[in-house]
């Protein structure tokens, strides 16, 4: 009774404090407390590269990361790297590559489900089931990874092998199958046991098996193949979120003057330069700095950049300016251009090319930024005398008055004009680099939004590779976490509204 009475008292205090909040504020507070997502910690992945069997080094992967497991994030495993399948009479779901630290040593294992949550099964001298672990993620689904057969007679570490910790790499061994009553083989549980390759000596693969750790002279090692280049095609801007900032800029100025003795055509070549900049953004799983060709719809030739790096170049242009002038006169000429910065979200198809296999393509979304020059125009002053800088008159005023008896003609004292206003023309000389950008020309053909599904498998990826890369999550028991998350959200909102109604009636 005492315990119950204290509980009621604490509830009363809580209720009175909650009454000070509005219904909307209370609902918002409850939602924040109960369903606010936490940010998973991300760690880099190192892969083994070697130029020969004697020389090797570790390189940071641009496509893979270790990410701490978040049981509240129902979509996290959509990018996880698959290590096999878990098969029983009642369950069939993918298992993923995970990493834990046991006795200060990092080792890898595989995930299994316990009440719709994942745990990491690993071993280092002893069988271990861990609730806190890292998952290997293939962000953007553009990393090309595969399980490569390995034996102790292989020379060294496979190129592209993914490191777990100090001098150990992700490995696996097929689980032992037992004979059933009909004489065939049967297996219940994970079809592969995941562990690590230790290259000491001839090397061994160590995996978690039968409540402990076992060594094998052969198995498979997880390797990543990095592309040597990219291509970006089928670019579509989000025209609703495209911004154009324009700035009229003075490019060059000069003087056309006639110091001769005859009426003649004067010519002057005016040179100027401007910065042409382009940046095509970045994307998860796309290696920074890799050579990339950009195929724009109206581009004469593909632009060549290094992915995720700003590309800038100084462009030069020449204009020839002509005008007919009388002796002793001159005219000032100024060239101005519209310097434009275009920023827009876009979608496109990115293709990754590999030396030893076919390319992999998928849709991505990013943001592009370009700065360029267009609408180069000429401004010129009135014609003036070189000697004193006064403007040369170009008009006269003459009036005539007539009556029946006599006529009077009057004239102004303004100087007689020497010529009509000169005609000034400009011609481009050499290669032209200014003008509307090819992206600007495609705005009318662009989409109203650039939203795409990040869970689509690459176009030309096999179903086996797609599963390894983290696709094929939907189906069967795998939808349970998302369903539970949605049901939980509805429950939180429903209970919060009910609580508000109860409090309002007090």
**Total number of residues shown for the chain:** 506
Q: pTM score, two decimals?
A: 0.66
Per the model's pLDDT, the better-predicted residue between 288 and 444 turns out to be 288
Q: Is the pLDDT of residue 478 over 60?
A: no
Q: Tell me the average pLDDT of the chain.
A: 77
pLDDT digits (tens, 9 = 90+) for 397-430: 444 444 433 444 444 445 555 556 778 899 999 9
Confidence of residue 157 (pLDDT cuts 50, 70, 90): confident
* pLDDT given at position 453: 58
Per the model's pLDDT, the better-predicted residue between 407 and 150 turns out to be 150
Per the model's pLDDT, the better-predicted residue between 236 and 458 turns out to be 236
Per the model's pLDDT, the better-predicted residue between 55 and 482 turns out to be 55
Confidence of residue 20 (pLDDT cuts 50, 70, 90): very low
In which element (H, E) is residue 372 found?
Answer: strand 360-380
> Distance between CA 48 and CA 57 in Å, rounded?
6
CB 393 within 8 A of CB 414: yes
Confidence of residue 13 (pLDDT cuts 50, 70, 90): very low
* Secondary structure letter of residue 503 according to DSSP: H
Q: What is the CA radius of gyration of the chain?
A: 37
Per the model's pLDDT, the better-predicted residue between 1 and 284 turns out to be 284
* Secondary structure letter of residue 354 according to DSSP: -
Residue 254 has phi, psi (to 5 degrees) of -165, 180
In which element (H, E) is residue 490 found?
Answer: helix 480-504
| Token couple for 213 | 């750790």
Q: Which of 342, 394, 398, 407 is nearest to 368 (CA)?
A: 342
Q: Return the percentage of the chain with pLDDT > 90, whole number.
A: 38
Q: Is the pLDDT of residue 295 over 90?
A: yes
Confidence of residue 476 (pLDDT cuts 50, 70, 90): very low
How many other C-beta atoms lie within 10 A of the C-beta of residue 14? 10
* pLDDT given at position 122: 87
* pLDDT given at position 372: 96
Is the dihedral angle over the CA atoms 320, 323, 329, 334 positive or is it negative? negative
Q: What is the mean pLDDT of residues 438-465?
A: 68
Q: Is the pLDDT of residue 452 over 60?
A: yes
CB 311 within 8 A of CB 192: no
Asked which of 271-275, 374-378, 467-471 is least confident by mean pLDDT, the reply is 467-471
Asked which of 13-17, 47-51, 413-417 is least confident by mean pLDDT, the reply is 13-17
> Distance between CA 494 and CA 35 in Å, rounded?
13
Q: What structural domains does the chain harbor?
A: 42-225 (no CATH), 229-445 (2.170.15.10)
Q: Which of 85, 276, 105, 285 is nearest to 172 (CA)?
A: 85
Per the model's pLDDT, the better-predicted residue between 475 and 200 turns out to be 200
pLDDT digits (tens, 9 = 90+) for 86-143: 988 888 899 999 999 888 888 888 999 988 899 998 877 677 788 999 999 987 677 7
Per the model's pLDDT, the better-predicted residue between 242 and 459 turns out to be 242
Is the dihedral angle over the CA atoms 152, 156, 161, 167 positive or is it negative? positive
Give 496-499 contacts, CB < 8 A, sequence gap 24+.
Answer: 496/26, 496/27, 496/30, 496/31, 497/27, 499/26, 499/30
CB 338 within 8 A of CB 331: no
* pLDDT given at position 468: 65
Q: What is the mean pLDDT of residues 339-359?
A: 90
Confidence of residue 74 (pLDDT cuts 50, 70, 90): confident
Identify the three-state secondary structure at position 472. Answer: coil
Identify the three-state secondary structure at position 502. Answer: helix
DSSP for 361-428, written as a single string: EEEEEEEEEEEEEEEEEEEEPPPEETTT-PBPP----EEEEE-SS-EEEEE--SPPP-SSPPPEEEEE
The listed range with the strongest mean pLDDT (182-191, 320-329, 495-504) is 320-329
pLDDT digits (tens, 9 = 90+) for 177-192: 665 556 555 667 889 9
Residue 2 has phi, psi (to 5 degrees) of -65, -40
> Distance between CA 467 and CA 161 in Å, rounded?
19
CB 255 within 8 A of CB 331: yes
> Distance between CA 240 and CA 209 in Å, rounded?
56
* First-residue to last-residue Cα distance in the chain: 24
Confidence of residue 241 (pLDDT cuts 50, 70, 90): very high
Q: Return the percentage of the chain with pLDDT > 70, whole number.
A: 70
Q: What is the mean pLDDT of residues 21-37?
A: 43
Asked which of 50-59, 73-82, 113-122, 434-443 is least confident by mean pLDDT, the reply is 50-59
């Amino acid at each position: 009774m005492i315990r119950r009475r204290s509980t009621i008292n604490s509830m009363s205090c809580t209720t009175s404090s909650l009454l000070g909040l509005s219904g909307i504020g209370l609902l918002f507070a409850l939602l924040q407390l109960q369903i606010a997502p936490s940010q998973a910690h991300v760690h880099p992945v190192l892969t083994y590269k070697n130029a020969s069997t004697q020389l090797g080094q570790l390189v940071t992967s641009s496509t893979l990361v270790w990410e701490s497991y978040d049981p509240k994030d129902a979509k996290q495993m959509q990018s996880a790297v698959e290590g096999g399948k878990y098969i029983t009479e009642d369950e069939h779901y993918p298992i993923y590559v995970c990493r834990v630290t046991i006795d200060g040593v990092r080792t890898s294992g595989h995930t299994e489900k316990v009440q719709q949550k994942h745990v990491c099964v690993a071993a280092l001298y002893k069988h271990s089931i861990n609730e806190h672990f890292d998952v290997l993620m293939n962000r953007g689904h553009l990393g090309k990874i595969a399980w490569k057969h390995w034996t102790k007679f292989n020379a060294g570490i496979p190129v592209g092998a993914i490191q777990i910790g100090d001098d150990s790499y992700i490995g696996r061994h097929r689980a032992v199958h037992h004979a059933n009553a009909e004489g065939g083989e049967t297996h219940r549980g994970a079809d592969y046991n995941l562990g690590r390759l230790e290259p000491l000596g001839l090397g061994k693969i160590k995996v978690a098996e039968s409540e402990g750790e076992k060594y094998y002279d052969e198995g498979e090692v997880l390797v990543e193949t990095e592309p040597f280049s990219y291509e970006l095609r089928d670019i579509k801007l989000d025209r609703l979120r495209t911004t154009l900032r324009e700035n009229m800029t003075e490019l060059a100025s000069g003087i056309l003057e006639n110091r001769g003795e005859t009426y003649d055509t004067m010519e002057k070549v005016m040179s100027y330069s401007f910065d042409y900049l382009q940046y095509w953004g970045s994307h998860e799983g796309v290696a920074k700095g890799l050579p990339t060709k950009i195929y724009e719809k109206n581009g004469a030739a593909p632009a060549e950049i290094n992915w995720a790096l700003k590309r800038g170049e100084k462009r030069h242009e020449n204009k020839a300016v002509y005008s007919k002038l009388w002796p002793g006169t001159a005219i000032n000429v100024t060239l101005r251009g519209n310097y434009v910065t275009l920023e827009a979200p876009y979608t496109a198809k990115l293709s990754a090319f590999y030396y030893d296999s076919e390319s992999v393509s998928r849709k991505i979304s990013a943001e592009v930024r370009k700065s360029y020059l267009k609408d180069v125009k000429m401004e010129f002053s009135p014609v003036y005398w070189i000697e004193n800088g006064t403007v040369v008159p170009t008009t006269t005023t003459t009036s005539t008055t007539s009556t029946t008896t006599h006529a009077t003609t009057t004239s102004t004292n303004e100087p007689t004009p020497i010529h009509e206003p000169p005609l000034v023309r400009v011609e481009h000389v050499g290669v032209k680099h200014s003008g509307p950008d090819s992206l600007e020309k495609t705005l009318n053909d662009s989409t109203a939004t650039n939203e795409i599904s990040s869970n689509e498998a690459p176009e030309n990826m096999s179903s086996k590779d797609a599963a390894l890369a983290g696709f094929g999550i939907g189906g069967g028991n795998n939808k349970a976490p998302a369903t539970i998350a949605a049901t939980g959200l509805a429950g939180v909102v429903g209970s919060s509204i009910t609580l508000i109604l109860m409090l309002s009636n007090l």
